[in-house]
Amino acid sequence: MKHMARPRTAAALTVLLATSVALTACGGGKEEAVGAGGKSDKANSSATAVKDPIVTTYDGGLYVLDGTSLEVAEDISLEGFNRVNPAGDDRHVMVSTSTGFRVMDAVGGELTDVEFKGSKPGHVVRHAGKTILFSDGTGEVTIFDPAELGSSTPKSETYSSDAPHHGVAIQLADGKLVTTLGTEEKRTGIKVLDEDRKEITRNEKCPEVHGEAAAKGEAVVIGCEDGVLVYKDGAIKKVQSPTEYGRIGNQAGSEESAVVLGDYKQDPDAELERPEKISLINTETGKMRLVDLGTSYTFRSLARGPHGEALVLGTDGKIHVIDPDTGKVEKKISVLDSWKEPLDWQQPRPALFVRDHTAYVSDPTGKKLVAIDIESGEQLAATELDQAPNEVSGVTAH
């Protein structure tokens, strides 16, 4: 492997760990997961600690990289289609396998024996100091404090949905739980539960409900095939899409902005729609704005910058930096060559992960990972990998 790093400013050299509401996407592992045991002594050794680790998946394993230099610290074998999400602290990453959500000690560079078992592990959400897991195969929601992650399984609360479905849940600062409604055949909306898990309100006018994001003021946005639901100040409101079919299934929010970034698909009959418009949902006004980027993107393309900027990695190889309030594309940062989304959603395609002021972009075709300073557009580091990277994630602290 070749590793290339460019000089950085003192500010850029420090990769700060900040709260981010992560983009979650669909699906779970399909094959049997093998490999990796519990922690060894090296996990606690400062000599082997990985600084601000970044984790990428590839077909048959995981790379753990130094967040500044992008030097590969560990190459971990793990069969099957695996997925990665921040666990919510500054040390761990959640790895979704065929049997559940496995905890990785990313700083120690290895998987632990701690696992939240569940069929078809799906969305991982971090909000208000809690991490929330949703197992699609059972409909079970698991809530825990990521600060308690370590060599043993932390205390957790579970809630069982009425039926298994591909869903998502988020717990608010006051303990209320917003969770999806549906079955394996049909998803219809959301309900809100109080701290004792008694239902407060619900809305079932959200066909094929999918994905979530939280905005400034703890407004929660949930996607539908014809718009979004917004839960704020105790009430659920529907924001309708401007077209008859306007599917928003993936969202990215920021505590710095009242506007949520979403995808936008308009063709219900497409085998694979490659959308060129994105949606901006203002949770204060209840208005939706569509922005035509002139390039397509995928469900791994959406993120938010440190000041609430809306970021979209286009198939033109550029990160489009958008003012969420005006919809203006303020700049385009060239990162990769142009690329095309594969038909199979599990096949590798470039992915965008943002931590503080740094954007990390995977490049499966070039077998590379690149770090970009969002404000200057400067490439901070790049590394060539032996295997094509797919998803990219890392540690983040609340």
Per-residue model confidence as pLDDT tens digits over 373-383: 999 999 999 99
Cα 34 vs. chain centroid, distance in angstroms?
A: 24
DSSP secondary-structure letter at 10?
H
How big is the chain, counted in residues? 398
The predicted pLDDT at position 145 comes to 98
Backbone angles phi, psi at 355, to 5 degrees: -135, 115
Q: What is the pLDDT of residue 47?
A: 54
Please report which confidence band the pLDDT of residue 397 belongs to, taking 50, 70 and 90 as the band edges.
confident
Which of 357, 275, 279 is closest to 322 using CA atoms? 279
Q: Structure tokens of 246?
A: 């306007």
The SS3 call for residue 183 is coil
Mean pLDDT of 63-83: 96
Distance (Å, whole) CA 392 – CA 382: 14
Q: How far is CA 58 from the centre of its chain?
A: 17
Distance CA 44, CA 91 (A): 11
- What residues contact residue 41 under an 8 Å CB cut-off, 6+ apart? none
Higher pLDDT, 20 or 310: 310
Phi and psi (nearest 5°) for 349? -150, 155
Question: Helices marked H in the chain — which ranges?
Answer: 10-13
Residue among 316, 335, 337 nearest 374 (CA): 335
pTM of the model: 0.88
Residue type present at position 83: R
| The pLDDT of residue 230 | 98
